[in-house]
Structure 1
Amino acid sequence: MSPAAATNLGYTPPDGGWGWAVVFGAFISIGFSYAFPKSLTIYFKEIQEYFSVSYSEIAWVSSVMLASMYAGGPVSSILVNRYGSRPVVMVGGIMVSAGMVLASFGTSIMHLYLCVGVIGGFGLAFNLQPALTIIATYFHVKRPLANGLAMTGSPVVLSTLAPLNQFLFDCFGWRGSFLILGSIVLNCCVAGALMRPVGICVQLEPKTEPPECNGETAEEAAVEDTSGQSANLRTEKSHSESQGCVHRFIDLSLFRHRGFLIYLIGNVVMFFGFFAPVVFLAPYAKHQGIDEYSAAFLLSLFALVDMFIRPTTGLIGNTKWVRPRIQYLFSFAVSYSGVCHLLCPLATGNVGLVVYAVFFGLGFGMVSALLFEVLMDLVGARRFSSAVGLVTIIECGPVLLGPPLSGALVDIFGEYKYLYYACGLFMLGPGIFLFIMHYYNYKKLDEEQRQRVAVEMRTSEEAVQLKMSQDDKTACETDG
């Protein structure tokens, strides 16, 4: 296991104990946040026929839900910083439940956009953000593993919901199914109850460092930031002092953070092609004449592979060989997913789509397991809440537009292959960009580290020489 850098959180994270119960709560919360919008695609074909809408119009249901989940990130960050993770997650579970119950009485596609998309999406935001944040307060040394296990919730819940939704639809129709799902999602409230504040479990250490506004001071960053971003953060210290506590809840100084900007640019492009292949996997299978249960099985198979690769990726990311350069692993995962989508049109029939679902699940799981861990690695645990809030609000644009634009390609050409070509390019391009830019970033960080060590050595030598001269002067005065 790689050596851990100091956390400077005011306490030593327990890296276990009740933290594993928190990981289980995050497992449920994150699982519903990511799997719920995907699992609803089972109902798309029937809802599309019921309301007589196009592929792109029905895609807006999941798209609006995911975009609302991402757009609610900053609001969720502020609430978490103010009230803690537990109450925010519980309120989120109630909101998603209310949205699904109201949607069961929907009379138009716009009704579903509002209830499922907006109300349900914001509820999912209140589930996702607190779950990610609280893990960073309980874990440091084992954080990649804890994140990998928590992110496994998405494929586990998806593999359960996909066949369950098909069963519910056959028995109760989409309206009755939505009503039942509204009760099932209340399990998020149980997950929130497990998220006990870390202060109850550990003795907080007295803090002597200067006050800060939702971010690290330069002295903290010099030892905490495992990616060596201290050179960027030193310039931010004077800015935070002049601005007072303006950025108390959302630290806008992150926009001058080199690693954060690289991550943000790559992810914004990537998310145009990240969710659409999952959203259209079942409709694509039905379009090829595959029966409903086999189409639902593809989602379950995809989720099953995803389920096993996420903790495996967490274990790999926690090794001493990978963790110091974990950004490269993330870049590979993004590029690999892009290649899978570009090759998808070659997979025809049920067997071909099964093979694609397996390889797609591997790529999707690797990206998902590392998505927030690499952000923590770049900005540090103390700034993560602000960082993820800023990232999600910006990413809501591509998350919102990605599936409908992909659906529009199907409407225009009448085929799905152009959808997968576009998604493949949107993944492969950012993967190459991230690899190149992180190579540059690591090189710059190594240079900055050498310069910092050289300055410290010169300062130490000067201090020793000054002390020696003072000792010589004192000895001469004594002899005189």
Structure 2
Amino acid sequence: MPSTTVTSLGYTPPDGGWGWAVVFGSFLSIGFSYAFPKSLTIYFKEVQEYFSVSYSEIAWVSSIMLATMYAGGPVSSILVNRYGSRPVVMVGGLMVGVAMVAASFGTTIMHLYICVGVIGGLGLAFNLQPALTIIGKYFLVKRPMANGLAMAGSPVLLFTLAPLNQFLLDNFGWRGSFFILGAIVLNCCVAGALMRPITITAKPPANQSGARVNKLIDLSLFKHRGYLIYLVGNVVMFFGFFAPVVFLAPYAKHQGTDEYSAACLLSIFALVDMVARPGTGLVSNTRWIRPRIQYFFSFSVAYNGACHLVCPLLPGYTGLVVYAVFFGLAFGMVCALLFEVLMDLVGAQRFSSAVGLATIIECGPVLLGPPISGKSFNNLIFHTTYMYFACGVMMLVPGLFLFIMNFFNYRWLKQEEHEKKREELPMAEVITVGWLNNQREISWHQD
């Protein structure tokens, strides 16, 4: 199977050594980026009562934080391309820390929107993209494994922050907890300090021209066929990706499960997800899967969809436990491969721009998916199982789309590579080949 991108890095990635320290830094940085907005929901009830606002108004804190994190992708990418990963991550960690400390002195809900939502969300954006980008600088052969280990930071930190936040809330209230969290999240600065830059000697192509914008963020990616296939599949996929996690506990309660057992489903899901991400990285690094990693990602997306379609058909609480196990595996597989396949498509040099542009496009479905599913969940016209069937279709369809389109993309790439080699043949070889063909034709006629 031909490679989808040919990129000259200008150096040989170490594939180890200090790279494992970088992976640990990315583990922390990615973990805080994804887990922090989710873990803050523990404080919502007390903050809601303190400010006398509705639950929907307080829920906007996490929504704005996530929206800003995704929308800030291009800004983060520009800064990474200009200054490198280390300073951007350190500034991002400082921004989130300061934002949480400032939020602890808040007097209105608007204060939390600005501090936690906007400033904190932008700080998380400065943590996410650089951490993903630098792995591609340090790893090539072992890159899927390194990405899988780094992406495991999300479930591990979520699993850790959930009980920690409850302890802080019980002992210090929401103001004291926010102040302490501001200090804890400063560990992202330590994570950024681990991201020692690699000196790259690769020169840009001679025919590269145009506005300084392309030097900061590569807009030519929108002409990249493989990248466009990835974007289309992901946009559809994200409409059904997060909603089943958000509504797993409410769905279980609706089926008659008590609150404790419903919460246990999330714990089971998180534990399996925690193991699935590095495990997927190890499997992806094998010689059987690595050349076919785009197909493996397509299978993972479709597998998610199949899990959601089967979920309403499983009987009782035992069926929900089985679903939580298989869904945790499927979710972890997609998360571990999500950025690895993008790097495989566009190469390490263009990855920073690719992920920045992708996150701002994916911002819409990421935010709209759960509210749309929640509306169908609460709508009496539909049975509650409708949401899981809808999410299943939203995952199964892009999985099949990615599989089919990647199959054709690989064929087209092979044909283009063959044509390119023909065009690059020296004129003498072309004449020789033509002369030999002519001689064969004359010989055939004489015979």
TM-score (norm 1): 0.81
1:366 matched to 2:355: no
In the aligned structure 2, how far is the partner of 1:143 from the partner of 1:385? 15
For residue 394 of structure 1, what is the aligned residue in structure 2?
A: 361
In the aligned structure 2, how far is the partner of 1:400 from the partner of 1:373? 23
In the aligned structure 2, how far is the partner of 1:48 from the partner of 1:345? 33
For residue 76 of structure 1, what is the aligned residue in structure 2?
A: 76
Taking structure 1 as reference, are residues 6 and 459 closer, same or farther at Cα in structure 2, changes over 3 Å only? same
Q: Tell me the CA shift for residue 57 of structure 1.
A: 5.0
Counterpart contact for 1:166–1:293, Cα < 8 Å: no
Identity %, equivalent residues = 74
Q: Tell me the CA shift for residue 4 of structure 1.
A: 13
For residue 475 of structure 1, what is the aligned residue in structure 2?
A: none
Taking structure 1 as reference, are residues 251 and 4 closer, same or farther at Cα in structure 2, changes over 3 Å only? closer
Show CA shifts across 1:335-357 (max 9, x none): 11122233334567654443332
Taking structure 1 as reference, are residues 382 and 124 closer, same or farther at Cα in structure 2, changes over 3 Å only? same
For residue 191 of structure 2, what is the aligned residue in structure 1?
A: 191
Q: Tell me the CA shift for residue 48 of structure 1.
A: 5.7
Q: Tell me the CA shift for residue 105 of structure 1.
A: 4.3
Please show how residues 299-314 of structure 1 align to structure 2 within 5 Å. Answer: 299-314=266-281
Counterpart contact for 1:57–1:404, Cα < 8 Å: no
Structure 2, gaps ≥5 residues long: 435-447
Q: Tell me the CA shift for residue 193 of structure 1.
A: 1.0
Counterpart contact for 1:158–1:300, Cα < 8 Å: no
For residue 230 of structure 2, what is the aligned residue in structure 1?
A: 263
In the aligned structure 1, how far is the partner of 2:277 from the partner of 2:155? 9
Taking structure 1 as reference, are residues 366 and 426 closer, same or farther at Cα in structure 2, changes over 3 Å only? same
SS in 1 for 2:11: coil
Please, what is the CA RMSD of the aligned residues?
Answer: 3.2
Show CA shifts across 1:129-174 (max 9, x none): 1101111111111111111111111111111122323333344444
For residue 409 of structure 2, what is the aligned residue in structure 1?
A: 441
Counterpart contact for 1:102–1:115, Cα < 8 Å: yes
SS in 1 for 2:215: coil
In the aligned structure 2, how far is the partner of 1:442 from the partner of 1:116? 44
Please show how residues 54-453 of structure 1 align to structure 2 within 5 Å. Answer: 59-106=59-106, 109-199=109-199, 211-212=204-205, 240-241=208-209, 243=210, 245-284=212-251, 294-346=261-313, 351-413=318-380, 417-453=385-421
Show CA shifts across 1:14-51 (max 9, x none): 11111110011001101111112222334445656666
SS in 1 for 2:216: coil
In the aligned structure 2, how far is the partner of 1:343 from the partner of 1:465? 59
> Which amino acid in structure 2 is aligned with residue 72 of structure 1?
G
For residue 231 of structure 1, what is the aligned residue in structure 2?
A: none
Q: Tell me the CA shift for residue 6 of structure 1.
A: 7.5
- Higher mean C-alpha displacement, 429-438 vs 97-106: 97-106
SS in 1 for 2:141: coil
Show CA shifts across 1:150-206 (max 9, x none): 11111111111223233333444444433332222111111111111123xxxx65x
In the aligned structure 2, how far is the partner of 1:5 from the partner of 1:443? 14
Taking structure 1 as reference, are residues 445 and 146 closer, same or farther at Cα in structure 2, changes over 3 Å only? same
> Which amino acid in structure 1 is aligned with residue 228 of structure 2?
L
In the aligned structure 2, how far is the partner of 1:342 from the partner of 1:55? 30
In the aligned structure 2, how far is the partner of 1:369 from the partner of 1:166? 28
SS in 2 for 1:15: coil
Q: Tell me the CA shift for residue 246 of structure 1.
A: 4.0
Counterpart contact for 2:6–2:347, Cα < 8 Å: no
> Which amino acid in structure 1 is aligned with residue 270 of structure 2?
A
Show CA shifts across 1:354-395 (max 9, x none): 333222211111011000110111111111111111111111
Counterpart contact for 1:56–1:403, Cα < 8 Å: no
Q: Tell me the CA shift for residue 118 of structure 1.
A: 1.9
In the aligned structure 2, how far is the partner of 1:69 from the partner of 1:420? 27
In the aligned structure 1, how far is the partner of 2:319 from the partner of 2:110? 36
Counterpart contact for 1:335–1:430, Cα < 8 Å: yes
In the aligned structure 2, how far is the partner of 1:73 from the partner of 1:129? 7
Counterpart contact for 1:56–1:405, Cα < 8 Å: no
Q: Tell me the CA shift for residue 115 of structure 1.
A: 2.8
For residue 230 of structure 1, what is the aligned residue in structure 2?
A: none
